[in-house]
Structure 1
Amino acid sequence: MEERLQKLISSCGLASRRTAEEWISSGRVTVNGEKAHLGDRADLDRDQVLVDGKRLRPGGARTYLMLNKPRGYVSTLSDEQGRKTVADLVSGCGARVWPIGRLDLDSEGLLLLTDNGEITHRLLHPSHEVEKEYLVWVTGNVEKALPILSGPMVLDGEKLAPAQVRRGRTSGGVSQMSVVIHQGKNRQVRRMCAQAGLNVLRLKRIREGALHLDRTLAPGTWRRLTEQEVLLLTGEETTDN
C-alpha cells in the first residue's frame, strides 16, 4: 500500500515524521534510484526506498521493548559490581538493546529499551520535555510536602521545572502520590521527596510520554511495542495527513 515517505520512515522506526521530512528535503532519501521530494509516496513491497543508501524495509530493523522492571535490577547492560541487570531480563529479544533512561535499583515499572539512537535522544533530551509519571508510596506529612513538591525546587544547583503532584489514598500511615516530571536527574523523585520531608517506600514508573505501562506485564517480563506504540514514541499521529 502506498504511503507518504515520511510515514514509511517513521513506521520503520528510523525517525519521527518531522525528522524524515528534513531527510527528504536534504536529499538523503531516494525512491527507485531517484531523489525523493516532499509529498512523494511509495510502497515498500514494490518500491526500493533508500535512506542514506540503506534500504528501508517493511517493519524496519529496529527493536522497541516495554519492560516491567522489578526492584533489584540495575538499568545498565553490565554492572561491575555483579548486580543483576535489565539486560538479563531481555536477553532473548534477539537484538542488542539499551535502556532509554534509567530506573534505580530499588525502583520498578515502565522501562523502554531500543536499538534506535535517535528515539533514545528524543526521549532523553530535556528540550523535548517528555513527561514521566510515577506512583510513589511515602510516609511523612504529605499535606506539608505537596506545596513543596509542586513548587520551585533545586537539585544539584539547578532549578527544577515544576512537578505535577496529586495525592492518592492513605492507608496505615502510607500515602500514595502521583508525580509527573519531564526532567531526568539521578534519583530525582526520591530526592525531591526527601527535600519535602517524605520517606519513599516504593516508587513505580507507570507512564513515559504517551506510553503507559501494560498492566498485563508481570514484573520482570517484556513485550515488543506495537506499530501504533512506536508512532506514539516518536510523537506522531497514527493517521496519514
Structure 2
Amino acid sequence: MVQEEKPLRLQHRMAQLGVASRRESERLIVAGRVSVNGKVVTELGTKVTSRDAVAVDGKTVNDAGAACTLILNKPPGVICAKTDPQGRQTVYELLPDGIPHVGHVGRLDYNTEGVLLFTNVPGLADGLLRPNANVPRTYEVKIRGILSNESRRRLEVGIALDGRPTRPVVVERMGGHDSKHDWLRLVLFEGKNRHIHRIMEAVGHSVTRLRRVSFAGIDLDDMPLGASRLLDDGEIALLEGFATGKAHARKKGGAG
C-alpha cells in the first residue's frame, strides 16, 4: 500500500533527476528553459510529482538514475533484506513499482515494525549511521512486567553492552499498562544489534512488541502498516543535516 506522493518543488525534482544543482535548476526555470507536462514554467514555487513530465530545452529528462529517499512502515514478520533463502517476505517487496534502485538505512528486526528509510543518495545512509551521529530513534515498547524506578534510572544512565555502556536512554511511560505489562516510549541516540531487547533484558524484562515511530525526525504519524511514501523537501533536508552533524530533530522534544 503506497500513500499519496507529496509534491516537491520543481528545482528539487530536477536535482533529484540529475539535471543540475538546485541553484542551477532555479536559473534554468527563471530563464524559461523548463517545461512541465508540455507547459513552460518560470515560477520557482511550482511543485511536481514523479508523474509529471519535466523537460529542459524541450528534451524530457530521464529519471532512471534519479535520487530517491522514502519511508516504509515496516510490518512485523518481514525481513530487512533484498532476498531471503527461506522464502520470507522482504521489505523490498513492499516498495512501489517504478522507483530507482535504493537500499535500506540500517535495519529492523524481523518482528519489529515501524519507520524504515530507504535511499540511493550517496553518503546519506553512512552519515546517518555514523556512531557519533546522535540520530534520535524513538520506539514504543511493550514489556512483560512493570518497569521499576531503579530500572528506569539504569536505562537513563546507560547499561553495559559488549563491555561498554550504552548512551543514556530517554524513558517515558505511556498509557495502557496493566499489572502484567508496561508500555514505554524510549528514545535512543545509537543503534546496536537488538539494542532494546538487550537493555530491557538487562533490567529483567522481555519485549513483547516493538515499534519504531521516528528515525532522525522522520515520523510514522498515521501511515498504515506496509505503506510507503517519498520524503518531501523538508524531510530530506533534515536527514542531510543529521548526516552531516548540522541538524536537530524537530518536534516531540528532540525525539522526532
CA offset digits 1:104-133 (Å, max 9, x no partner): 001000111111131111111112111101
Q: Deviations over 1:44-80 (max 9, x none)?
A: 43599xxxxxxxx8x9921111100000011121223
Q: RMSD between aligned alpha carbons?
A: 3.1
> Match for residue 43 of structure 1?
27
Deviations 1:141-162 (A, max 9, x none): 3014212211221112222111
Give the counterpart letter for 2:207 in structure 1.
V
* Structure 1 partner of 2:54: none
In the other structure, the counterpart of 1:210 is: 217
5+ unaligned residues in a row in structure 1: which ranges? Answer: 1-7, 15-29, 32-38, 49-56
Query: What do residues 5-31 of structure 1 show as CA deviations (whole Å, max 9, x unaligned)?
Result: xxx7899469xxxxxxxxxxxxxxx99
CA distance 1:136–1:13, shift in 2 (3 Å): farther
Which of 135, 140, 160 is the equivalent residue of 1:135? Answer: 140
Residue type at the aligned position of 2:88: R
2:132 & 2:28 partners in 1: Cα distance?
Answer: 33
Identify the residue that residue 23 of structure 1 maps to in structure 2: none
Residue 180 (structure 1) aligned with residue 164 (structure 2): no
Other-structure match for 1:81:
86
- Structure-1-length-normalised TM-score: 0.73
Is residue 231 of structure 1 aligned with residue 237 of structure 2? yes
Q: Which segments of 5 or more consecutive residues in structure 2 lack a partner in the other structure? A: 1-10, 34-60, 248-256
Partner Cα distance (1:201, 1:195) in 2? 15
Q: What is the CA–CA distance in structure 2 between the aligned matches of 1:138 and 1:68, rounded to whole Å?
A: 21
Contact 1:133 1:207 in 2 (8 A): yes
Instruction: Give deviations 1:87-112, integer Å, cap 9, x for gaps.
Output: 11115242211110111001000111
Pair 1:106–1:133, CA change in 2 (3 A): same
Identify the residue that residue 46 of structure 2 maps to in structure 1: none
Instruction: After the TM superposition, list the runs of 4 or more consecutive aligned residues in structure 1 that deviate by more than 6 angstroms.
Output: 8-11
Contact 2:151 2:203 in 1 (8 A): yes
**Cα shift at 1:183:** 1.1
Identify the residue that residue 53 of structure 1 maps to in structure 2.
Answer: none
Length-normalised TM-score, structure 2: 0.69
Report how many aligned residue pairs link the two structures. Answer: 200
Distance 1:197 1:88 in 2: 36
Over the matched positions of the two proteins, sequence identity in percent amounts to 31
The 1:152/1:90 distance shift into structure 2, 3 A limit, reads: same
Instruction: Name the aligned partner's letter for residue 161 of structure 1.
Output: R
Distance, in Å, in 2 between the alignment partners of 1:10 and 1:135 is: 34
For residues 1-241 of structure 1, the aligned pairs below 5 Å read 12=15, 43-45=27-29, 46=31, 61-143=66-148, 144-169=150-175, 170-171=177-178, 173-215=180-222, 217-235=223-241
- Give, as a single letter, the amino acid of the residue that structure 2 aligns with 1:43: R
SS at match of 1:92: coil
Moved more, 145-154 or 198-207: 145-154
Relative distance call for 1:41 and 1:111 in structure 2 (3 A) is: closer
